[in-house]
Each structure stands twice: as C-alpha cells, then as structure tokens.
Amino acid sequence: MNYLVISPFYPENFQPFTVELSKKEDVTVLGIGQEPYDQLPEELRSALTEYFRVENLENLDEVKRAAAFLIYKHGPIDRVESHNEHWLESDAALREQFNIFGVKPKQLKRTKHKSEMKKFFTKVGVPVAPGMLVKKDKDIEKALKKIGFPIIAKPDNGVGAAGTFKLTKKADVDAFKEAWDGQTTYFFEKFIDLQEIVTYDGLIDSKGEVVFETSLVYAHAPLELLLSNKDNAYYIEKELDPKLAEYGRAIIKAFGMKERFFHIEFFKDGRDYIAIEYNNRIAGGFTVEAYNYAHSIDLFRDYANIVTGQEVADRPFAPQYCLVATRRDKTNYVHSEDEIKQRYADNIKTIKRMPDAFAELQGNSAYILTADHLEVIQEMIDYIGKTR
C-alpha cells in the first residue's frame, strides 16, 4: 500500500499518524509538504520513504504535479489524507484526479456545506434549527421573514466561528450587509439560546462501522470564544449518553463515510440534542491527545490498524474525564504554571504550546489533565483560568 500524507509536519501533534503507518508491513508512506526536508524531525523523516517539498500547499496544481511524480516513481497511491480541515478539499481533489479510495469532492460537499448537512440530519430524524441559504440581498429579507430574530449567519462553507454574525435587530442586519462581500454564500439559521455544546466524535472503519466513539463538552461555545477572547476549555466525557450515541450513529450511517474520524457538534437541549454541524475529520488542537488519555488508547495506532484492515486495540481500562484548558500569554492569572503542576501533580498529563495559527482563538498554552469525577474537572477549569 502507498499512503500519501499531505502536510506530514504540520500540525506537529499529528506527526504520529505518519509514524504509526510506517510501522505497518507493506505500507510505503510518502509525504507532500511545504516545510524544508531538514526541518522535519528525525522520527518523521525516517517514517517517510519519500518527501516532496512544494512551494505552496495552497497551490493545488503544484500538489497534483508532486503527487504525479510520486506515482510515477512508487506506483499508484492507495490512500491520501491530511486529517486537517484546511486540506479536506485538496485531499478530495487528489483522490478524484488519481482515482484513490476515499471521499471525493461530490461527497465532501455534504460535510462542507451547512445547508447540505441539515438535509442529512433531518433525513434521519435528528432535530435541527430552521435555516435558509442566503446568496443575494433579496434572500436576506426572505430569511428574516421565514426564520425571525434572533439569527446566526454563517458562511455555508466555513470552519468554526469564522465569519459568523449574530443578528438580533435591524442594525445587525445592516452591519452584516456592510461586511458581506456579496459573493460568499451564507446560511441563516435560528439562534438557539442554549449554552451547552457537546459533540459525538470517533473513528469509522473501512466498512463504515464506528470503532471508537466518545463525546466532549465545551466550557465555552466557539462563537463565545471568538467574541470574548476567553480561555478555551473542554473535557472528554467519561460516559457517552445513549441518546447522543443514537443520533450520532444514525448520522454516520446517513453520511456513509469510511476510514475516517468524525466530529459532530450538538446543542444539548435538556435531555435531547439539536445537531449543529458535521466535521469530516478529527477535532483540532490537542483533542486527539485528550481522547487517548481519557480512554487509555492510542488512536494514531488504531487508525493505522483500520487502514491496513486490522482490528483496533482492546480497551482494557475504564475511561476517565480528560480536560484541555488553555491560557493566554498576555493574561495575568492568579495561579502560576508551577502552582498548577503542584496542585494537580496526580492529574496533569502534559502541557503543550498551541501552534500560532490556533493561538488567537484557543490560547497559547494547553494543559491536559484527567480525573475520575466531574467536580474535579470543574474545579480545574476555575483554578487554571482564574485571572486577577
């Protein structure tokens, strides 16, 4: 098997995907990235049979030429993946161009466009907020009449909370019109006044079956983080709510993906849930580490197993809660990092520096800790994030 990794260096905490694949017999791991070869760590260089450096990964034609060269030299590519939201469309285009297994652009549309996601959620009976596509100025008035204030306006094909507007009155609509380029298609949907956002996350095997599932809870919603510049904090649940799992599995079946991670966001509405969006990749930041610590597993190895037709590892240990709490360099906190380490010496697993690309939204340092009780997790969030 020839496995092509797009951007094997960045983000750095995804490098183990490449390393674990290289340990499998009959798997040749190739890479295309824009970092110089000498910048790659020794372990990553050793895992790659060949690395092709391009000037710009944004230039799809350049990436396609690099892939064509690697195919000429090593034979057909069997898989191509980045695990990164930013490169999902490029990954899909490469699969279509070179007839590679996996998600093609047509399939990707259903997971990139919020309007398309809603159709699949509704099809399997999962609650959603009412919404409407806005392509032209005249659509805005139609949406206001159909949905009514308050409204959340998001790019139909967008990531996270970027480009999001909350519309509660006419002045907000005027501000949106002023900022809107008129070219980006937006999706207007009813603002749901619920504070708790949870996810159904996991890994799908080559048959489309879920082989790992979990859930995380955000201390602050992504839009709140964007608007308030608060510290980010979320935790992996110790147990999965059966209702959430029921909705999540139905969605997975409807979308029909294979050999992929997924990250599906929901509002928690009492004992029920309202679907927000489907992300056709693993959650960003250091969430994969949090999954691993919470469940005492190695998802990097599990992924390599399913790609090569093997079973995921047994789960011999009971899960724990796992917290990811971030802090900003510019904020004056009550408790120092040394005090955090001392207070939670039995809980803290690692401290990571956030890549610059994510730091503005998520913070500069990430603290990853485990606990058996939710009360301890809540105390950690308060203690780590307390400011002067």
| pLDDT at residue 266 in the model | 97
Domain 197-385: CATH architecture, name and number where available: 2-Layer Sandwich (3.30)
DSSP 158: -
| pLDDT at residue 160 in the model | 63
Dihedral angle computed from the Cα positions of residues 112, 115, 119 and 122, in that order, rounded to the nearest 10 degrees: 110
| pLDDT at residue 202 in the model | 98
Mean pLDDT by 10 residues, the chain (388 residues): 97 96 97 97 98 97 98 98 94 98 93 93 97 95 96 86 88 96 95 92 96 94 66 95 98 96 96 95 94 98 97 94 95 96 98 84 91 97 94
- Domain spans, the chain: 2-102, 130-190, 197-385
- What's the rounded Cα separation, in Å, for the pair 66 and 8? 14
The pTM assigned to this predicted structure is 0.93
| pLDDT at residue 195 in the model | 84
| pLDDT at residue 231 in the model | 87
Beta bridge partners of 50: 30
CATH superfamily of this structure's domain 130-190:
ATP-grasp fold, A domain (3.30.1490.20)
Beta bridge partners of 275: 128, 266
| pLDDT at residue 158 in the model | 76
Residue 40 near residue 8 (C-beta atoms within 8 A): yes
- What's the rounded Cα separation, in Å, for the pair 341 and 141? 54
Would 2-102 and 197-385 be classified into the same CATH topology? Answer: no
| pLDDT at residue 228 in the model | 65
| pLDDT at residue 185 in the model | 96
Fold of 2-102: Rossmann fold (3.40.50)
| pLDDT at residue 355 in the model | 82
| pLDDT at residue 353 in the model | 93
